[in-house]
Structure 1
Amino acid sequence: MQGSADTEQGTEPSEDSAEELYENAPCGYLSTSPDGRIIKVNQTFLTWTGYSRETLLGGKRFWELLTVAGRIFHETHYAPLLQMQGFVHELSLDLVCADGRQLPALINSVQKRDASGRPRSVRTTLFNMTDRKRYERELLLSRRKAEQLAQAKAALLATLSHEIRNPLNAITAATRLLGMTPLSDKQSKYLRILGSASGNLLALVNDILDWSKIEAGKLSLEQREFSLRELLGDILNGQAARAEEKRLLLQMEIDERLPARLLGDPVKLGQILTNLVSNALKFTEKGGVKVSVALRARDGDACDLSFQVSDTGIGIPPDRLSAIFEEYAQANYDIGMKYGGTGLGLSISRKLVALHGSKMVVESEVGRGTCFSFDLRLKSGAGGTAAGAAPSSESSPRALRGLKVLVVEDNEVNTYVLARWFEHWGISFDAVKNGREAVERLHQGGYELVLMDLHMPVLDGYDALKVIRQLPDERLRQIPIIAISASTRAWQESKVLASGFTDFIGKPFDEGVLFSKMARCTSREAPAAPAQPPEAAPRAPGSAADSLVLAPDFSFTKLRQWAAGDAQASAALARSSIQTLEQARPALTAALKQGARDEYERACEGITGTLHLLEAHGLAAALRRARALLTGNAPDSTRMQAAVFAIDWEVENLAGALVAIASEAGA
């Protein structure tokens, strides 16, 4: 009996302890009958909800404790799931407490059955989600604040860039204008320093703006038709002077199977390749840099392209390969001190490649060089005008003579710079300082084009555009308006155009690009030289008749600007251009004689950058006329011979003039 008593006394504390654990568990417990009536509940649940045990056990059903939305969910999801599978895991429902407040809870329920398999009860465990909901709200609030901060930072940088780029535009444009005047050797040297410093500053501003925009998630890909050969040609021509200065070989290798036109975002692709080429030239002292594009596969109109930019530079240690893609970081401190830079170029390029759905890969060996590569899938374009032929609006530097333009710009320095270019091009113009004055001046008439800054006092460019597009005069509603902005970058061009502007150009602008856009928007086209009559036999170059029919039309202004007044750089560009033209001439001639349009297009695209650099409008016109012979039936031999002669004539004139430039530097 004593043992029995001891056993009973020994088990009693254990039973009390289990009951106490049940009552004061960190989660709520309740049991319900098959019809939902609450038959058991622990103290934790009572404490959370404020109900008394008597109230809940007096006939309350579980669903009666739920909100209206919770009751609907209980009927449509909770009860059917419980009946079908015998359990419900982690459902989120809100309970209505005794004082009317709502308690978010995470619910797990298990159905208990008797020996015959009939439902006997339902045991439910509830977790108080109040703290979790509060954390979620705080996280959401923090996220919104972070997004607002990123937007505010982007807006601040855009505003600062506008203030920086406006005077920078004046500096770079004035530098170009000054380079067109007679200068002493010392002045030319100072001008090169000024041009280099302003270019570095512009690159710094652009890098910071690009990174800010990427960080804010505001970048998206556009789809437009472009020539990859032309894009690469422009990039390499832009870097040619720097390569020559360091005595580096700059090469381009393009797969011959590559389509003439592709669909993609040439601005962002160009930015990727420009960053990689510029970076390779910066860290290479001997050897050269090579840009390669290979067509790996083609599936219908989709082309899988492989891009590589390799150099023979200093290389990157294996343990620093991942660090070079970090923002504001370089391989090591000494490199940053020696070569300079923001450390943003590669990071921007990697993110732009990721935006295309691809990945940047780097392979490097210290002292032997580095290779950056990435793959892209682009669709082939419909075709259209080949890259080798300049637009007809660019066929003569006199195409804009007599054009009347209204300039809407609140910065007097920028207006002055535009005035100098307009004077050079033979354009008459008036200038106003805000959008309201622009609307008033347009009514006074006679303007064929408007150049409008986007950020101005009183009435900005966007609002002024809306007013102009709603004017009763049909001619004014349709007038071409080109947006000019220091804070709007090229990747925002689609936004500007969607607002109703005819075209867009960013500051600091390239005068050649401005000229081209103005000519295109006003449909200005200089008359092409008349084709040689079919019955006329080719004559020897130099005759008076030939000089009238095939007068050379080119300019080396852009070549000298890109060389920044450096005679050695001008000579290097001249020699490179001669080599490109001489290599292309036999390919062009053979394609014409064989009637091979594709080969002809490919040869034209190969000299696109050279045509742009030399402003070779005469050669571009000859190439267009020859192309027209390949579009229809087989041309007669006389006309084809005349077309070949015209191309040879233009190439000979260009080469002769380029030899003179190369000779000036003692080449």
Structure 2
Amino acid sequence: MKNPDAPQHFVKLLVVDDDEVDKRLLKRALRASGFEYELTEYSDALSISDISLLNSFDCIFLDYLLPGDNGLRFLRKIRDAGIVTPIVMITSQGNESIAVELMKAGASDYIVKNEINGQSISQVLRNMFRLNSMMREREEAYCALRVSEARLAEAQEIAKVGNWEFHAESNSFYVSHEIYNILELDPQKPVTFEMFLAMVHPDERAKVHTAWMDALEGKRYNIDIRINTPSGIKFAHSQGRSILDPLGRLEKIVGTFQDITDRKLTEQEMMRARVLAENSMKVKEIFLANMSHEIRTPMNAILGFTRLLYETPLTTEQKSYIDAIHFSGENLLVIINDILDLSKIQSGKTIIEKSEFNIRDLVNGIVSVLRPKALEKGIRLTYNFHQQVPTTIKGDPVRLNQILTNLLSNGIKFTEKGGVTLEINSNAAKKQDCVLEFKVRDTGIGIPADKHAAIFDSFVQASSDTTKKYGGTGLGLAIVKNLVELQDGKISLSSSEGGGSTFTVHLPCEEVTQEITQPSQSPGRTSPAPESIDQLIGAAILVVEDNPLNQMLARKVLQKAGCNVDIVSNGLLALERVKTKRYEVILMDIQMPEMDGFETTRHIRTQLQPPVSEVPIIAMTAHAFGSDVAKCLAAGMNDYISKPFQADDLYQKLLKFVQPSPLRVIPFKQAETFPHHKIDLTALHELAGENNVFIDALVLEYNRQTPAFVEKLKTYTKSQNFEAIRFICHQIRNSYGILKMAELDKALDKISKLLKMTDPGPEMTDVTKLVNTIIILISAINEAVTHGLRRTG
């Protein structure tokens, strides 16, 4: 009868016993155990030809005493063969010493013969099943561990990273196999700290030693080092941390060691590539800067002198020639600016500023500047603001000006009939934030659908015919797109061939709820008020410029405003001049021989004493990169003006620094300041006759005397040396009296009487006004003599 509590297992059993009685006893007990089984019997060990077959049994019952070979030796033989099947030893008596010996030899359990019954055998088999289960679990765990170790080794090999441990108590290292691979060492050879330190590059051993000392003190470390291996230098990353025991003592240090040679070499290659790219960009920037300088410098003279020519009497034909020169020069300047703008954008040197400005004023200024071009073509140029568009916003007015000017100019350029319209709308996003929408519509030639994407590429126009007919570089829209995207905006195009075009720009901005109080700056140039220019009359300006044409232009433009102008051709001469004469502003060219503008400015600021070291310096730069402007300001310059410049722009710059002075307060309007074309030179012509040598000598004498008189008058007026002023005025009467200039004679008479007053003495304000008048008049005479006396030569 089966034991109902016995597990329903089928087991394969082997019994090795030469005693038939014992075997029958075992069989009877097995039948009573409740287990279903298959039993294989052997009488002795010698009859088992293939010991490996023992692995196929679930349990082996082995008699302790066997003929030919006792059970203990056979047990050891089975275990030595790697057989792990549970073995239950059958003994005649329960001797503890025998039991211990059997267990040491590999027995799983033992049973005494006189205790063999169904219950004991059932218990033994249950124990064997549990043992089998434990052994399987252990084997599975062992296999899993081996798999895990294999995977870890594989991962370490792929990542080229190994792990290590340092045990403080034994002063020994455990090092994973991959570290041996990295260091190219024999895995059978133990690694010591001294051995490892010897492999570290000499320049980095101190770093490793410091890191190791930190680790011994309980700190973490993380370093990159170079190591010398048999195959050459490798880069490695090492990190480690300490583990302390419950008493706070160092137990061990654990860490990782990774071969980062490939990464370091890649980084070095990337660094070389970046340096090469930066150098290439720098070469390109230097080339463009030099090109800008070399083109803008003569362009300054070309455009400047054409403007001056406009102010002289011209025939209709002459005006048309000047128009052509000026138009060509402006076009060339646009091309240069386009190339430089695109280069700045590509090199990441374009900076987006944020300032408050009146958008209505800005748009009005742009349209005012471009409308004449539209009128010349007989087309309309209009704009319209939607009601919800804020008046004052925060953004970049310079870039917005550039974007709209480019789009409107394009519209005018490609439209022959109809017109161009700018529509401005606003879509409020959140409080104080908005997105401005600018739509530029034209009724021009339009753009084919297959060209819409390419039209925003650099140097691209819709067709070669377009380039031939309308000209241009094809950079305008590329610049616009880049500027829009730099401000997190978007631009789109709607157009068809022959159907006009609509460019739509969306730009995020910030609405300013409180209106700005300062007057907005329109992008269109506005001339300074005449009364403000009067402030420049008599101002001492030093021009440091090496180009003769630009020297001449600067002199003409400044003298037109009434300035006293001195010109030198390099920085060394400028330093000599500022030591002997006080100037109110220095206009400093940048690129000059002997000493450039940067070095000259630094010398003035650091080597000279106030007030000379504090003189305002305005850079005149033909370079156009923002970095050049920054260099000007960093060198100590107060402001800059780009070549070619407009006269009014230069006046505005000067007015920022030229302060009103009693010496330069005059009773005349600017138009009356230099009426040299009205000065009668008849007396000098009669005196000189046709003698050109005498004329040249006379001109040189006036050129020499006049600046000297002017300087002395200023000096003596400042020191209130009335006697010296009276003496100089007497000399002036002797030198200039031959011209019988009524205004000069009147001024000399007035100052003579004024300086003779004793009680009370002369009013200083009256003296300075008369001195200033005399300076203006003798300067006008000198100008007239210089330019009018040689007419017959």
Relative to the length of structure 2, the TM-score reads 0.53
Pick aligned residue for 1:401 from 537, 559, 576? 537
Secondary structure in 1 aligned to 2:611? helix
Secondary structure in 2 aligned to 1:509? coil
Pick aligned residue for 1:49 from 161, 178, 183? 183
Shift of 1:324: 1.8
1:48/1:480 Cα in 2 relative to 1: closer, same or farther (>3 Å)? closer
1:134 aligns with 2:265: yes
1:483 aligns with 2:612: no
Structure-2 residue corresponding to 1:180: 311
Report if aligned partners of 1:27, 1:126 keep a CA contact under 8 Å in 2.
no
Stretches of structure 2 that go unaligned for 5 or more consecutive residues are: 1-48, 54-149, 240-254, 663-668, 672-793
Shift of 1:167: 0.5
Secondary structure in 1 aligned to 2:382? strand
Letter in 1 for 2:502: T
Aligned equivalents of 1:303 and 1:508: distance in 2?
Answer: 37
Aligned equivalents of 1:32 and 1:404: distance in 2?
Answer: 79
Shift of 1:432: 0.9
Structure-2 residue corresponding to 1:426: 562
Pick aligned residue for 1:458 from 577, 589, 594? 594
Q: How does 1:24-423 map to 2 (within 5 A)?
A: 48-56=182-190, 103-104=234-235, 129-255=260-386, 261-297=392-428, 302=433, 304-368=435-499, 369-378=501-510, 380=512, 383-387=516-520, 395=531, 398-423=534-559
Secondary structure in 1 aligned to 2:279? helix
Aligned equivalents of 1:519 and 1:153: distance in 2?
Answer: 36
Structure-2 residue corresponding to 1:518: 654
Measured on the aligned residues, the alpha-carbon RMSD in Å equals 4.8
Shift of 1:251: 1.1
Residues 206-227 of structure 1 deviation map (CA, whole Å, 9 limit, x = unaligned)? 1122222222222212344543
Report if aligned partners of 2:163, 2:179 keep a CA contact under 8 Å in 1.
no
Report if aligned partners of 2:528, 2:652 keep a CA contact under 8 Å in 1.
no
1:49/1:172 Cα in 2 relative to 1: closer, same or farther (>3 Å)? same
Letter in 2 for 1:156: F
Letter in 1 for 2:405: T
Shift of 1:377: 1.1
Stretch of structure 1 that moved more, 168-177 or 295-304: 295-304
Shift of 1:424: 2.7
1:496 aligns with 2:496: no
1:262/1:131 Cα in 2 relative to 1: closer, same or farther (>3 Å)? same
Shift of 1:414: 0.7
Stretches of structure 1 that go unaligned for 5 or more consecutive residues are: 6-18, 82-90, 109-123, 527-550, 554-667
Aligned equivalents of 1:406 and 1:57: distance in 2?
Answer: 77
Aligned equivalents of 1:183 and 1:435: distance in 2?
Answer: 38
1:213/1:504 Cα in 2 relative to 1: closer, same or farther (>3 Å)? same
Report if aligned partners of 2:419, 2:442 keep a CA contact under 8 Å in 1.
yes
Shift of 1:147: 0.8
Report if aligned partners of 1:410, 1:433 keep a CA contact under 8 Å in 2.
yes
1:314/1:70 Cα in 2 relative to 1: closer, same or farther (>3 Å)? farther
Residues 140-197 of structure 1 deviation map (CA, whole Å, 9 limit, x = unaligned)? 2111110111012101211121111101111111112222223333322222221121
Report if aligned partners of 1:392, 1:525 keep a CA contact under 8 Å in 2.
no
Report if aligned partners of 1:157, 1:209 keep a CA contact under 8 Å in 2.
yes
Residues 375-429 of structure 1 deviation map (CA, whole Å, 9 limit, x = unaligned)? 1314637623334998986655544333332111111101111222233322221
Letter in 1 for 2:443: T
Give aligned pairs, total: 496
Residues 606-639 of structure 1 deviation map (CA, whole Å, 9 limit, x = unaligned)? xxxxxxxxxxxxxxxxxxxxxxxxxxxxxxxxxx
Report if aligned partners of 2:289, 2:625 keep a CA contact under 8 Å in 1.
no
Q: How does 1:469-480 map to 2 (within 5 A)?
A: 469-470=605-606, 474-480=610-616
1:186/1:394 Cα in 2 relative to 1: closer, same or farther (>3 Å)? closer
Secondary structure in 2 aligned to 1:296? strand
Structure whose CA Rg is larger? 2
1:266/1:439 Cα in 2 relative to 1: closer, same or farther (>3 Å)? farther
Residues 522-549 of structure 1 deviation map (CA, whole Å, 9 limit, x = unaligned)? 24599xxxxxxxxxxxxxxxxxxxxxxx
Identity level (%): 33
Aligned equivalents of 1:31 and 1:430: distance in 2?
Answer: 77
Report if aligned partners of 1:502, 1:521 keep a CA contact under 8 Å in 2.
no
Aligned equivalents of 2:439 and 2:661: distance in 1?
Answer: 39
1:69/1:252 Cα in 2 relative to 1: closer, same or farther (>3 Å)? farther
Q: How does 1:645-664 map to 2 (within 5 A)?
A: none
Shift of 1:438: 1.9
1:229/1:395 Cα in 2 relative to 1: closer, same or farther (>3 Å)? farther
Residues 65-84 of structure 1 deviation map (CA, whole Å, 9 limit, x = unaligned)? 999769969999xx999xxx
Report if aligned partners of 1:484, 1:506 keep a CA contact under 8 Å in 2.
yes
Aligned equivalents of 2:485 and 2:538: distance in 1?
Answer: 47
Report if aligned partners of 1:483, 1:505 keep a CA contact under 8 Å in 2.
yes
Aligned equivalents of 1:496 and 1:56: distance in 2?
Answer: 65
1:161/1:25 Cα in 2 relative to 1: closer, same or farther (>3 Å)? closer
Shift of 1:61: 12
Shift of 1:198: 0.9
Greater RCO, CA 8 A, separation 6+: 1
Stretch of structure 1 that moved more, 154-163 or 342-351: 342-351
1:148/1:410 Cα in 2 relative to 1: closer, same or farther (>3 Å)? same
1:235/1:495 Cα in 2 relative to 1: closer, same or farther (>3 Å)? farther
Report if aligned partners of 2:435, 2:506 keep a CA contact under 8 Å in 1.
no
Report if aligned partners of 1:306, 1:374 keep a CA contact under 8 Å in 2.
yes
Shift of 1:33: 9.0
1:60/1:191 Cα in 2 relative to 1: closer, same or farther (>3 Å)? closer
Residues 285-334 of structure 1 deviation map (CA, whole Å, 9 limit, x = unaligned)? 22222223334338666554333322222222333222122222223333
1:260/1:232 Cα in 2 relative to 1: closer, same or farther (>3 Å)? same
Residues 578-631 of structure 1 deviation map (CA, whole Å, 9 limit, x = unaligned)? xxxxxxxxxxxxxxxxxxxxxxxxxxxxxxxxxxxxxxxxxxxxxxxxxxxxxx
Stretch of structure 1 that moved more, 415-424 or 397-406: 397-406
Aligned equivalents of 2:224 and 2:565: distance in 1?
Answer: 70
Report if aligned partners of 1:410, 1:432 keep a CA contact under 8 Å in 2.
yes
1:517/1:101 Cα in 2 relative to 1: closer, same or farther (>3 Å)? same
Aligned equivalents of 2:628 and 2:368: distance in 1?
Answer: 25
Shift of 1:448: 2.3
Secondary structure in 1 aligned to 2:509? strand
